[in-house]
Structure 1
């Protein structure tokens, strides 16, 4: 007798639904791998093209490989100084964004204040407005304050662009904390410091880390503010990258710089994901 015939109808339906979800998941995983993997693969291939042996159609990969493109970028551009500048500004922008966003996010997430939705919209405006528009108007303010062409000005500008991401994520994290946990802590005599240390900070840790990733990545990839406010005194990785684009598009050199900008972010994302936990309640009870 056929096993399928002997199986209850609800189990057959359950198995079919499971297979359907598995196929859908597999489909989107493949699409995501192609969407992300092909551009990265092409960037790696273009960065290794031998200048003496051109890569063209119909070859799927370069006829020969060389590190000449990498040597050119490091020998004839300011990429080393740009790397130092980018990875000096980004951590400072993240720290400053955190310090400014933490109290703001707490109020927006835990307090019922008038005009909260309007304020949230104002906070998110830098994300909505074109970056070049923000940079042009902000440059005028920075010129009047003497912050143009300064390292401090770049840090403040990058902080401005990073804060909306930090505030948005941390506001959601604060709002998701169960009030019952806070009430129980207060009934047991927990003061403000204890609640911050043992409840709020552990429970917003996933959101805090996610906000820091967004802020760090935003700072590393920021071009408009750096170009308007910082150049030519300061150069970052995106300004070097854009110099190889436009009318004088040099694909090989642009691929090298794009990999230099992308690889540390990917490594950091995997490291953070390794330690990032999503169980907020366990975090608050010290079980992480």
Structure 2
């Protein structure tokens, strides 16, 4: 839930800036945001875990959260940009004409219009974070494991493990992920994620 909240707080404003502003190097910035989604997590997970261990963050909940933000923030940005582009800029201009500052514009105008997209993005981030094995495995300590990492340890750790407990964790993991995915799909049509507003 920390990963979900921080991804929303960082990703939504970043998506708005990328959707509404043109600046030199914008395509390069977009490419950098997309890289964690395009390459396998293990590719950047090992160097990232090394940095987190050197700085003292790894082995704790904060390390797990920081590691999982690397792919989830770009994911929120990628999902939110089409939703933002579909909002007519004239609505924002009208709000500013009537005296709305940036904060009021976001809270009273943009937030209600973007709420379906935000909820869908955050729910999909939750599903992705629950399923993320590599980054959590590389950076987690004994007190900060997700269910999928705990399941891995239960299966492959030394000693005898009760088969029933492993089966129970696997069922809980699959059912939890499925429930969140179904909830997410109620808020968004998957084709909206790749749609773009026509100029």
1:268 to 2:150 alignment: no
| Contact 2:120 2:185 (8 Å CA) reproduced | no
| Equivalent residue number for residue 176 of structure 1 | 86
Q: Which position in structure 1 is the counterpart of 2:6?
A: 96
Determine the structure 1 residue equivalent to 2:196. none
Contact 1:150 1:230 survives alignment (8 Å): yes
Deviations 1:142-196 (A, max 9, x none): 1111112111111111122211111111222222211122222233333323311
Alignment equivalent of 2:135, drawn from 225, 236, 244: 225
Work out which of the residue numbers 183, 187, 194 in structure 1 matches 2:104.
194
> Of 226, 238, 254, which aligns to 2:148?
238
The answer to whether the aligner puts 1:257 opposite 2:169 as a matched pair is yes
Structure 1: runs of 5+ lacking an equivalent? 1-90, 279-288
TM-score, length basis structure 2: 0.80
Alignment partner of 1:115 is 2:50: no
The 5 Å alignment of 1:94-173 reads 94-173=4-83
For 2:104 and 2:138, how far apart are their aligned partners in 1?
A: 45
> Take 1:277 and 1:218, find their aligned partners in 2: how far apart are those partners?
16
Q: Is the 8 A contact 1:94 1:216 kept in 2?
A: yes
**Shift of the alpha carbon at 1:255?**
5.0
Q: Is the 8 A contact 1:153 1:229 kept in 2?
A: yes
Aligned partner of residue 140 in structure 1, secondary structure: helix
Instruction: Tell me by how many angstroms 1:235 deviates.
Output: 3.0
Q: Which has the higher contact order (CA 8 A, sep 6+)?
A: 2
Question: What count of residue pairs does the alignment treat as equivalent?
Answer: 183
Q: Which structure has the larger Rg?
A: 1
Q: CA deviation at 1:257?
A: 2.8
| Residues 251/126 of structure 1: CA separation in 2 closer, same or farther (3 Å cut) | farther
Give distance in 1, aligned partners of 2:99 and 2:145.
53
Asked if the contact 2:60–2:140 (Cα under 8 Å) also holds between the matched residues in 1, the reply is yes
TM-score (norm 1): 0.57
User: Following TM superposition, by how much is the alpha carbon of 1:97 offset from its aligned partner in structure 2, in angstroms?
Assistant: 0.9
| Offset of residue 105 of structure 1 | 1.1
Q: Quick check: 2:117–2:188 contact (8 Å CA) kept in 1?
A: no
Alignment of 1:11-22 (within 5 A): none
